[in-house]
Amino acid sequence: MGARFIGWGIAVPDRVVTNDELSLTLDTSDEWIVERTGIHERRIGGTAMSLGVIAGRNALEDAGVEAKDIDFLVFATTTPDRITPATAPMVANELGLKCAAMDVNAACSGFMYAVRTAYGLLETGNKRVLVIGSENLSRWVDWSDRNMAVLLADGAGATVLEYDPTENDLLSFSLGADGADADLLTCEHGGYFQMDGAAVFRRAVRVVVDSAEKALAMAGITADDLSLVIPHQANIRIIQAACQRLNIEMDRAVVVLDHYGNTSSASIPLAFDDARKNDRVHKGDYALLTGFGAGMTWASAVVRWSQ
Ligand code: UT7
């Protein structure tokens, strides 16, 4: 069985918030944020639905398919517009989809969980699945809390996955979850995001390396074979530490957190979009897509681009 990525799209709010702007109201500085996270600026605005609709529409257009061609919408978000209904049916309605639509919440692993779910849906008879990762993290940030305010941002990314009996982009997956670490990164009802940053950092490096090694082994390749790593964009130091342990030079990693910050389930498609715009995605190349987040959850996949 094969599944191919046939189109991608993104959406980011227009409003750019620089580190210097945050420093006006928070006890922080551009120097600290850049040195400790790699983030220079981020985009703030929109909702999970409004950003998701734009990213989804762009992905449909890029794939050259219409709303009627989509059999299922899997919508990854940590920040649904409402607790219920899920955001997916509203996005589907805006896009004119006439199919099943559901939310997936796996925090910053959400996009890869959604891709894994889509793969399973294609395996069981669906022809095309629209996957969207969309976040409005800024709504749940306490803007007087420097720990979170400098990290989180808004954005969305989407892809269309199509069943293909002859070609396959998705060679392997390694996903996991460990609720024993649930309290490391939380947002309670009516509250704000809170995180034990150092503990999440340590755990993130471990689970990314472990799941990446498993996905590489399952795909029958080694890290040397990878042309690209498209990681979740939380902190440049996490990406550097994971790449170092996997023996992957940083010039093979895609980094967009410098201008987008941490957009949770939108970060991997935003990074893919950047890689493609910079001509870093080539037919036949291997790539590692890897994410981690609250839960804790993690998810790696090895891809070989068929186009
Ligand atoms: O998407 C998945 C979830 N998120 C993540 O993966 C994030 C994981 N964690 C991280 O990225 C990092 O742990 C942080 C960026 C959150 C923090 O970096 P750190 O190097 O672990 O710093 P720290 O928490 O150890 O804090 C170092 C110092 C502390 O001051 P003292 O105790 O040394 O005096 C903090 O109070 O930096 C201080 N600090 C800040 N200073 C200026 C913490 N936040 C800030 C800030 N500006 N925004």
Look at the alpha carbons of 206, 272, 75, 301 in this order and tell me if their dihedral is positive or negative: negative
- CB distance 225 to 7 below 8 Å: no
- With a 6 Å cutoff on the Cβ, whether 296 touches ligand 1 is no
- CB distance 122 to 64 below 8 Å: no
Active site residue 108: yes
pLDDT of 307 over the 90 cut: no
Q: What is the pLDDT of residue 55?
A: 98
pLDDT of 262 over the 90 cut: yes
Q: Residues 163-197: pLDDT tens digits?
A: 999 999 999 999 999 999 999 999 999 999 999 99
Q: What is the pLDDT of residue 157?
A: 98
Q: How far apart are CA 85 and CA 192, in angstroms?
A: 21
- For ligand 1, atom 26: residue with the closest CA: 198
Give domain 170-304's CATH superfamily: Thiolase/Chalcone synthase (3.40.47.10)
Active site residue 189: no
- CB distance 301 to 211 below 8 Å: no
Please state, rounded to an integer, the average pLDDT across all residues of the chain. Answer: 98
Average of pLDDT values for 106-111? 98
Q: Residues 284-299: pLDDT tens digits?
A: 999 999 999 999 999 9
Beta strand pairing status for 2-11 and 185-187? Answer: unpaired
Q: Residues 17-42: pLDDT tens digits?
A: 999 999 999 999 999 999 999 999 99
- With a 6 Å cutoff on the Cβ, whether 152 touches ligand 1 is no
Residues in the chain: 307
- Closest by CA to 80, choosing from 50, 112, 117, is 50
Q: How far apart are CA 226 and CA 302, in angstroms?
A: 9
Distance 83 CA to ligand 1 centre (A): 30
**What is the fold of 2-164?**
Peroxisomal Thiolase; Chain A, domain 1 (3.40.47)
Q: Please tell me the pTM assigned to this model.
A: 0.97
Q: How confident is the model at residue 228 (pLDDT cuts 50, 70, 90)?
A: very high
- For ligand 1, atom 48: residue with the closest CA: 146
Q: According to the 3-state scheme, what is the secondary structure of 99-119?
A: CEEEEECCHHHHHHHHHHHHH
Domains 2-164 and 170-304 share a fold: yes
Q: What is the pLDDT of residue 305?
A: 97
- With a 6 Å cutoff on the Cβ, whether 240 touches ligand 1 is no
Q: How far apart are CA 252 and CA 259, in angstroms?
A: 18
Q: How confident is the model at residue 204 (pLDDT cuts 50, 70, 90)?
A: very high
Average of pLDDT values for 114-142? 98
- For ligand 1, atom 38: residue with the closest CA: 147
Largest CA distance in the chain: 56
Average of pLDDT values for 131-155? 98
- CB distance 137 to 153 below 8 Å: yes
Residue to mutate (ligand 1; options 20, 36, 135, 195; most atoms within 8 A of CB): 36
Q: What percent of the chain has pLDDT over 90?
A: 99
Distance 198 CA to ligand 1 centre (A): 7
Active site residue 232: yes
Average of pLDDT values for 226-250? 98
Q: How far apart are CA 238 and CA 301, in angstroms?
A: 18
Q: What is the pLDDT of residue 199?
A: 97
Q: In whole angstroms, how far apart are CA 75 and each of 114, 175, 220, 266?
A: 7, 18, 30, 11
- With a 6 Å cutoff on the Cβ, whether 134 touches ligand 1 is no
Q: What is the pLDDT of residue 28?
A: 98
- CB distance 11 to 52 below 8 Å: yes
pLDDT of 269 over the 90 cut: yes
- Ligand 1 closest atom vs CA 293: 2
Q: What is the pLDDT of residue 1?
A: 79
Distance 199 CA to ligand 1 centre (A): 10
* Domain boundary assignment for the chain: 2-164, 170-304
Q: How far apart are CA 237 and CA 79, in angstroms?
A: 25
Residue 301, number of CB atoms within 10 A of its CB: 27
- CB distance 288 to 215 below 8 Å: yes
Q: What is the pLDDT of residue 43?
A: 98
Distance 279 CA to ligand 1 centre (A): 34
